[in-house]
Structure 1
Amino acid sequence: MSMTEIEDGANSASTRERKAKRATAAAVFGTLVEYYDFSVYGYVAATLATVFFPSEDPILGLLSTLLVFGSAFLVRPLGAIYFGRLGDKVGRRKSLIACITCMGLAAGLTGLLPGYAQIGIWAPILLVALRLLQGFSTGGEIGGAAAYIREWAPERRRSLYISFVPSIGNVGKGLAAGVTALVAVTVPAEVMLDWGWRVPFLLAIPLGALVLVARLKVEDSPEYVENSAKQRNSDHRPVRELFAGHRAALIKVVAIALVQNIGTYVGTVFVAVYLSDVLNFSKAASSTIVLVAVLLAALLIPVAGQVGARVGGKRLLVWSYLAYIVIVIPSFMLIGLGSVGMAVLGLGLSMIPYALCQAGTYTTIPEFFPVQVRHTGVAFGHSVGAVIGGGGGPYLATWLIDTTGNNLIPAFILVLAGALGLAVSAMVRRTPENVTHLYR
């Protein structure tokens, strides 16, 4: 090989890596905004209960609000099918652009929505409709971002690049908690009920516009482009192909995503309501505690991604499930002591299994599917897991705490999730296709 050929190859690799970094940045910035938009609802759930579901029983109003929160998960599989098919048929980039546009509009319009006192029963009806639109768009975003980055990233750094999806997603949740906390400490309680709760939702409009600009400037992944060229004259039907030829892989992805979403929505979103409405922390203190924890998780997840590159995705997931079983009950006992400092420490400790599970899940699930159905498979599998684990988890935790009076219920749910994860991981077998990234 001549020196010129070597230099051309090096330049080509350098150009590819620069494009990969830009594509990853555009994908994870969108994930940040998606997580922000989707999580704000959970962080202001107690306020929304008063504005949209006025009731003499505050628990009944909160349960109604959490049911609306959970309703978004019901349509996530539909969004996954729609945006996943779009991503596999016409490109990951176009699908991701459509996702962020849909989410930004839904969150922004929620911030403009009149309350029950203004328009009566139409207020909760419209709230449900906009929440469903949020769920629909989220169904395609997370799986699409993971598939897109997986196909751009250098193989030796793939786990690290993909780990930024959940890491930056946690920054989005932290931003949601931070904005909520800032509003809560800045305005009086009656102003928060009047218009203060709208501020976090309205911020979604400029954030979404910035993501849209970033995603319009990047290219589609080379792996997708190459595969698309091969299938240009074929009748490519990703949804049918997924269910016809990849059912076993899909079941495993659903189960892995189920455990991951229980950890996400019980351990980082519901916990804000848990702190304020069950343990009687102020709303500002609750948001601040969650903010510190999720920002810690955002730092831990890329570290876990680096570990996954060394030990393999399956082993990383097993470690995360064991950590849930061992750590979360002592963590929630610390949270229950009533001190802000102990609550920060306890929730921070619970971020260790959470970070391991996030990095392991997003690194692992794209490896179950070939490129022609990857967006659909990852998006749909993850969304079905989210319906069960994320949509039902907060409501179940609230109901069980109210029924049993046991404040450790969230910890017990997370321990059971860890046990389920161990059972699922035993079903993942070594194959020629997954040996590179699931095993080391």
Structure 2
Amino acid sequence: MEPKGFTRDTGKAVVSQFIGFMLDSYDLTMILSIAPVIANVLLPPQTPLLAAFSVILAYSLTIIFRPVGSAIFGNLGDKIGRKNDLIITILGLGISGALTSALPTYAQVGILSFILFVIIRISVGIFAGGEYAAGHPFAMEWTPLKWRGLISGIIQGGFSFGAAIAAAVEGAFIAIYGVSGLEDFAWRYLFLTVLVIAVLALIIRLTMKETPIFDDVREKRIIRKSPFLDLFRKPYRRDFLQVMVYMTGMFFFAYSLFAFVPTILEHSPSVFSLGTADSIYVYGTYAAFAGAVIFGAISQYVGRRKLTLIWALATAIIAIPIYYLLIRGATINSIPLALIASIVIGIITQGPWGIIPVYLSERFKASMRASGVGFGYSSGIFLGGWFSIYVPLMHNYLFKSIDTPTNIWFSTAVLLIIGAILVGIGQFLGPETVGTKLTESTPVEEVNKG
């Protein structure tokens, strides 16, 4: 049965997923925001932009392993329950992220340091893929119908909030130790801070109850033999493919902010210091959090599909002007201009993510929801995860004269436009989901066909 009111268990579920999703973004931001520092520590000397590309490429390669985690832990979440799944994923995510602090440097072991970095990133990717596979359904299945849009936005906003917290922590480390101190030793302490978030999430999850909707699946004895494989069988295959197109565009949206706004602000013709660039980026992530919450809440009244279609069109129109404003402000040392651009980019790229937890949960049946949400979410990575190749290719072969040789602002804007087109197509092909029941009444015979 679905919850009828906002209870203490609902609150725990929301806080648990907010923190878990925050940890994912916190770890990501640690890598992408100080890419120049990581490159200096783990790689041989290179030009600044090439070094940043190397770190971003290593990160995106490990993102490709998120679908593996979604497949493993999504299937497990549909078999053993969401709660137990979430305890495993938060332990793996916290420990893997913290292990980055133990890496040897390039000066100590040569290129082996970067190879070990990639291996750790793969582990983080696998557990992160499992985190939202079980976590989003868990929170949504504890949320009453009328609160779903708002709670979805809050949960998804945890990702942007994690980026903001990470950037703020990095700013504090730079202020205390300086960039040289960060490169010498403080980067290790920086990565250890992920344990604080992981332990907090683990404590909450150990006190949670399983969702009433999964309990209902167990009581009705409609647990599927192979929930993950059922995604690729009729009649669910079309739903999965529609979600995949949509999520591919959403990942282009995400990395237009998280991967490339710091890169744009940190490389010439930008004249900002690393600390200033980091501070400007922080405000963009604050705006992203607000955008996700507001978008999720409004979708409960306007509709997930309609709101996203309008937003995708507006984003395609504004993409180039707003990224030009960002690089213009960075070039003439105008913090206000760059700040406005960062805030707008945060809102337009992350607002639509506010419906992802609820939209994906409403698209898949309870008996296959963890698999559908997890792998549906991660399916956008198959094409979207190679953003670190698309932008350099556009920069080097199409738009170098517009970007300038040392920056990628125009190529990033084009990436966002492509994302907006895919998001629009994906949502157009799918149904409106507001009001969908999360409980399942599928006959046992149909479930066990898989």
Q: Does the pair score TM above 0.5?
A: yes
Paired residues for 1:118-133 under 5 Å: 118-133=108-123
Flag the 1:13–1:436 CA change in 2: closer, same or farther, 3 A.
closer
- The residue that corresponds to 1:69 in the other structure is 59
- Equivalent in 289, 309, 319 of residue 328 of structure 1: 319
- The residue that corresponds to 2:406 in the other structure is none
- The residue that corresponds to 1:287 in the other structure is 278
Is the 8 Å Cα contact of residues 245 and 425 (structure 2) preserved in structure 1?
Answer: no
Greater mean alpha carbon deviation, residues 369-378 or residues 61-70: 61-70
- The residue that corresponds to 1:375 in the other structure is 370
CA distance in 2, matches of 1:342, 1:377: 41
Q: Which runs of 5+ in 1 are unaligned?
A: 1-11
CA distance in 2, matches of 1:280, 1:396: 25
Any idea what the Cα deviations from partners look like across 1:330-353, whole Å, max 9, x if unmatched? Answer: 211111112221111012112332
Residue 153 in 1 paired to residue 147 in 2? no
How far did residue 394 of structure 1 move?
A: 3.4
SS in structure 1 at match of 2:386: helix
How far did residue 287 of structure 1 move?
A: 1.1
- Equivalent in 297, 304, 310 of residue 313 of structure 1: 304
How far did residue 312 of structure 1 move?
A: 1.0
Is the 8 Å Cα contact of residues 52 and 263 (structure 2) preserved in structure 1?
Answer: no
**Aligned residues between the structures:** 421
CA distance in 2, matches of 1:127, 1:413: 27
Paired residues for 1:5-404 under 5 Å: 17-231=7-221, 236-245=225-234, 246-278=236-268, 279-337=270-328, 338=330, 339-389=334-384, 391-403=385-397, 404=399
CA distance in 2, matches of 1:370, 1:257: 19
- The residue that corresponds to 2:427 in the other structure is 425
SS in structure 1 at match of 2:430: coil
CA distance in 2, matches of 1:72, 1:426: 31
CA distance in 2, matches of 1:188, 1:272: 18
Q: Which runs of 5+ in 2 are unaligned?
A: 404-408, 438-450
Is the 8 Å Cα contact of residues 319 and 356 (structure 1) preserved in structure 2?
Answer: no
Is the 8 Å Cα contact of residues 96 and 145 (structure 1) preserved in structure 2?
Answer: yes
SS in structure 1 at match of 2:259: helix
CA distance in 1, matches of 2:176, 2:393: 32
- Letter in structure 2 aligned against 1:417: G
CA distance in 2, matches of 1:106, 1:191: 24
Is the 8 Å Cα contact of residues 53 and 65 (structure 1) preserved in structure 2?
Answer: no
- Letter in structure 1 aligned against 2:48: P
CA distance in 1, matches of 2:183, 2:393: 25
Is the 8 Å Cα contact of residues 170 and 297 (structure 1) preserved in structure 2?
Answer: yes
- The residue that corresponds to 1:5 in the other structure is none
CA distance in 2, matches of 1:290, 1:142: 25
Structure with greater proportional helix content: 1
How far did residue 166 of structure 1 move?
A: 1.5
Is the 8 Å Cα contact of residues 37 and 104 (structure 1) preserved in structure 2?
Answer: no
- Letter in structure 2 aligned against 1:60: L
Is the 8 Å Cα contact of residues 313 and 437 (structure 1) preserved in structure 2?
Answer: no
- The residue that corresponds to 2:416 in the other structure is 414
**CA RMSD across the alignment:** 2.0
Is the 8 Å Cα contact of residues 167 and 301 (structure 1) preserved in structure 2?
Answer: yes
The percent identity for this pair of structures is 25
How far did residue 435 of structure 1 move?
A: 5.7
CA distance in 1, matches of 2:426, 2:132: 21
CA distance in 2, matches of 1:300, 1:190: 35
How far did residue 189 of structure 1 move?
A: 2.7
- Letter in structure 2 aligned against 1:284: G
SS in structure 2 at match of 1:153: coil
Is the 8 Å Cα contact of residues 173 and 294 (structure 1) preserved in structure 2?
Answer: yes
SS in structure 1 at match of 2:11: helix
Is the 8 Å Cα contact of residues 73 and 383 (structure 1) preserved in structure 2?
Answer: no
CA distance in 2, matches of 1:251, 1:346: 34
SS in structure 2 at match of 1:244: coil
How far did residue 243 of structure 1 move?
A: 1.8
CA distance in 2, matches of 1:352, 1:105: 31
How far did residue 226 of structure 1 move?
A: 0.8
CA distance in 2, matches of 1:161, 1:177: 24
SS in structure 2 at match of 1:383: helix
- Letter in structure 2 aligned against 1:55: P
CA distance in 2, matches of 1:354, 1:240: 32
CA distance in 1, matches of 2:429, 2:336: 40
SS in structure 2 at match of 1:187: helix
How far did residue 144 of structure 1 move?
A: 2.4
Any idea what the Cα deviations from partners look like across 1:95-128, whole Å, max 9, x if unmatched? Answer: 1111111111111110121111112222111101
Is the 8 Å Cα contact of residues 317 and 360 (structure 1) preserved in structure 2?
Answer: no
How far did residue 90 of structure 1 move?
A: 0.6
CA distance in 1, matches of 2:327, 2:436: 39
Flag the 1:140–1:352 CA change in 2: closer, same or farther, 3 A.
same
- Letter in structure 1 aligned against 2:263: V
